[in-house]
Amino acid sequence: MTTSTPEPARRKRLPISLSKERLAGLFWQIVVVGIAIAVFAWLWSNAVHNLSARRISTGFAFLGREAGMPIADAWLAYSPQNTYLRAFIVGIVNTLRVAVIGIVLATVLGTMIGIARLSSNWLLSRLAAVYVEVLRDLPLLLQLLFWYVLMQGLPAARAAWMPIDGVYLSNRGLVLPSIPIGEGNLWVIGTAAAGLIALYALRRRLIARQLLDGQPRPLWHYGLVLAVGLPALVSWSLGVSWTITLPELRGFNFVGGLTLTPEYFALLVALVTYTSAFIAEIVRSGIQAVPRGQWDAAMALGLRRSFVLQHIVMPQALRVIIPPMTSQYLNLIKNSSLAVAVGYQDIVSIANTTLNQTGQAIESIALIMLVFLTISLGISLFMNWYNARVALVER
Amino acid sequence: MTSVTDAPENPLPFGRSRSRRAGSGRAIGWLRANLFSSIPSTAISLLLIFLLAKACVSLVQWGYWNAIWTVPGNQTSACRAIRGVGACWAVIPEKYRFILFGTYPFDQQWRPALAILTFIALFFLSSRQRWWRKELVFVWVAALVVIGLLMWGGIFGLPFVSQDRWGGLPVTLILATFGLAFGFPLGIVVALGRRSKLPAIRSLCVLYVELIRGVPLISLLFMASVMFPLFMPDGVNIDKLLRAQIAFVLYAGAYLAEVMRGGLQAVPRGQHEAADALGLSYWQKNGLIILPQAIRHVIPPLVNTFLAFFKDTSLVLIIGIFDLLTTAKTAIIDPAWQSFSVEVYMFVGSIYFAFCFAISRYSRRLEAQGKSA
């Protein structure tokens, strides 16, 4: 009997205090959500009223209409008679084209500068520091306009600079030698990619077996067959041509080769140099975060320097590097929307033109947001997956 | 110069060992240790010295020896004759008033100039740790009111100047500073909301932060300039600059909320528990115990975020607001001066750089202090 006396008291008090707290919480949530809904409803009713007053019909039906907008630098087949939908897809491809190449180049350049910053050569490390400081302390848009002005100040196509044979730099942009890609070439590239994936899977199995018996199993002859031999065989049997075409000056412009327009080139240079300054700092702090003892211990074991860097230092540095690197990649993609300032037609620029032509403001901006949110989410998911792979497995 | 010349503390063991204190009068020893320690290092040094010398010579030739500093009237033919060979700095004295102050009435331009000085004084005051007290909030309010009075006028015998005549550096500073001043309280509320136990409030805050951070600033500015009028009732017409300012506050709020969340996470849980044990209410607990500690933690990232805002204000060029970069770009539309954009961009760039370099130096010093503390 004595033990049962506190029981009812506790049963009584606990639910009351909990429910009081819960009630307050519920009340506040209802208030906040109610206010949010009310504000949105008010904005929406205004928008509906304004749009009907301006005779703009909401919805995405306009995507099927003829765009009538020229796109100078399209990789997909496009003409102004195509629909707005097609124009948007061309814009997305243009955004991805500058973003993906920009990410790769910025990573390479940023890593090089980050390592240069740590060099024992005083001059090299100081120059890298100045590079980082100057590029980080100027607005990207200013840098972009600056590069674009420099591009326009280049000599005309007739007097183009030729730093290397077949590479021309003029106010028409950068012209590079290229290999015309046909269906056969795509088959060969596809085979090589499949070979590399197979090789990667094989490597994992071989390492798993090595962990069991300690016998190292060489991989290179499989690699030779899968990544080189097989594609070569496909190329030979299909009779694919890999001849490089050099650009040629005809009249006022170049024929053949791969042309990067001044707008694209200026945007790419601005994005790559700006982002590389941030990446350099990330790489530097990542490498510095690896304790020096790790180097010393590995060297004391008599391991080769390249082996130490690849298998001991980099895996540890990557753990520090990857999370901030992800946000730099996302920044680069978002910054690629500055294209509109120099007239490179990325998704933002095309949505802006659409908006001016049709008045479909809400839909156009919703499309921009959708595209960027999708790309951002994709990159985040990939980097989270990669981060989970390199993360420290704690026991 | 310390930050630029700061030697990396933990260099890679590439090359030979380096001696850091060889400089005491023995220049040759220093050179051998830091520039010519090995064959690859020597090769790099020689190559860099060669390239650097070449770049310096051509820069001095272009910017100084062959440069033209003044031209009579608007006669820029002398400048155009040396295009590509020498700089035409004559464009700067000709245009600097427009670049700095936009279309603000010419005889009243001392007012934006004074506003710029007020901003600089405000930044300087806020950077002193002695001043990190509650009173700083009143200083900010007072300074922002003074700047508003100076820019608008309309009282104390100052003629009224409407916002569409504002331009140049004051607009850049206004966008960045007001964005911070209003975005910071917003960020604090959102960060608290994100840590709230109430699911509806938490998801609203997450939605806001992720939506804003997921899209480029340009799309927010487009929204402010094109979509915002659609969402307002008839007859309500909000000025373009104010709309851009609202977009900036919302943008700043989302980023500062993330900064603030980091600070809140750094406050040990014991502080929460102790405050709860004292029977403090939610607002008492956060206002008196948690936030003062969290804000101390976030000061260095806050400074970095402000640096990013300062650079990001230049994006208003795309929606046609006359900030520093837009006035620079407009100044060279003038046919006589059209071909001297490089000089003008260098001038504007040095202004941006002066502000950003000071801010980034300051933030690095704060971080170093935080580490040693």
Q: What is the pLDDT of residues B213-255, one digit of tens each?
A: 888 898 888 888 888 887 877 777 778 888 889 999 999 999 9
Of B41, B48, B218, the CB nearest to A120: B41
Look at residue B311 and tell me if it is in a domain: yes
Is there a contact between B257 and B209 (Cβ–Cβ < 8 Å)? yes
Q: Which helix (H) or strand (E) holds B309?
A: helix B291-312
Best CATH choice for the domain A84-160+261-390 from the list 1.10.357.10, 1.10.3720.10, 3.40.50.1100, 3.20.20.105: 1.10.3720.10
What single string gives the DSSP state of each residue in B258-292? HHHHHHHHHS-HHHHHHHHHTT--HHHIIIIIIHH
Inside any domain, residue B345: yes
* pLDDT confidence of residue A270: 94
Residue B67 lies in a domain: no
CA A346 to chain centroid, in Å, comes to 14
Residue A351 CA to residue A344 CA, distance in Å, equals 12
In the predicted model, is pLDDT for residue A220 greater than 70?
yes
**Looking at per-residue confidence, does A248 or B182 come out higher?**
B182
Cβ within 8 Å of A, B 55-114? 84
B93: in domain: no
Claim to verify: residue B25 and residue B130 sit in the same structural domain: no
Closest Cα in chain A to B357 = A137
Q: Would the pLDDT of B31 be above 70?
A: yes
Asked if A344 and A264 count as a contact pair (C-beta separation under 8 A), the reply is yes
CA dist B312 and A331 (Å) reads 12
Which among B11, B13, B353 is the nearest to A137, CB-wise?
B353
Residue A17 binned pLDDT confidence (cut-offs 50, 70, 90) = low
Are residue B28 and residue B162 in the same domain, yes or no?
no
Q: Mean per-residue pLDDT for A54-70?
A: 75
Of all residues in chain B, the one with the smallest CA distance to A30 is B200
**Minimal CA–CA distance to B223: which of A271, A56, A58, A348?**
A348
In this predicted structure, the answer to whether residue A3 has a pLDDT above a threshold of 50 is no
B124 — contact with chain A (CB < 8 Å)?
A: no
DSSP string of B199-223?
A: HHHHHHHHHHHHHHHHS-HHHHHHI
Nearest CA in chain A to B318: A341
B125 touches chain A (CB under 8 A): no
- Best of A21, A120, A288 to disrupt the B interface by mutation (most B CBs within 10 Å)? A120
Give the domain CATH number at B336. Answer: 1.10.3720.10
Chain A contacts of B227, Cβ < 8 Å? Answer: 361-362, 365
Count of domains forming chain B: 2
In this prediction the ipTM stands at: 0.84
B157 and B271 belong to one structural domain: yes
pLDDT > 70? residue A12: no
Inter-chain CB proximity B45 and A124 less than 8 Å: yes
- Indicate whether B89 belongs to any domain: no
A314 interfaces chain B, CB cutoff of 8 Å:
no
- pLDDT tier for residue B16 given thresholds of 50, 70 and 90: very low
Residues B120 and B242 in one domain: yes
User: Does the structure show a pLDDT above 80 at A204?
Assistant: yes
Predicted local confidence at residue A154, as pLDDT: 79
- B147 & B271 share domain: yes
* pTM exceeding 0.80: yes
Residue B307: list chain A partners with CB under 8 A: 137
Beta carbons of A127 and B52 less than 8 Å apart: yes
Same domain, B160 and B293: yes
Contacts of A125 in chain B (CB under 8 A): 7-8
Asked if residue B226 and residue B128 are part of one domain, the reply reads yes
Residues of A in contact with B15 (CB under 8 A): 119-121
CB contact under 8 A, A120 and B16: yes
Higher-confidence position of A201 and B67? A201
Asked if B338 and B242 sit in the same domain, the reply is yes
What's the whole-number mean pLDDT along residues A329-341?
90
Is B96 domain-assigned?
A: no
Domain enclosing residue B140, as ranges: 103-372
- Average the pLDDT over B126-153 and give the result: 81
Partner B contacted by A58 (CB < 8 A):
no
Count of CB contacts below 8 A, A vs B? 188
- Residue B70 forms part of a structural domain: no
Contacts of A365 in chain B (CB under 8 A): 219, 222-223, 226-227
Residue A336 Cα, gap to closest chain B Cα (Å) = 9
Q: Does residue A348 sit at the B interface (CB-CB below 8 Å)?
A: yes
Candidates A134, A146, A340; nearest CB to B345: A146
Q: How far is CA B89 from CA B343, B346, B351, in A?
A: 7, 10, 16
Chain A partners within 8 Å of B215 (Cβ) = 334, 368-369, 372-373
DSSP string, B56-120: HHHHHIIIIIS-B---STT--HHHHHTTTTS-BTTHHHHHHHHHHHTTS-GGGTHHHHHHHHHHH
Statement to judge: residues B45 and B118 lie in one domain = no
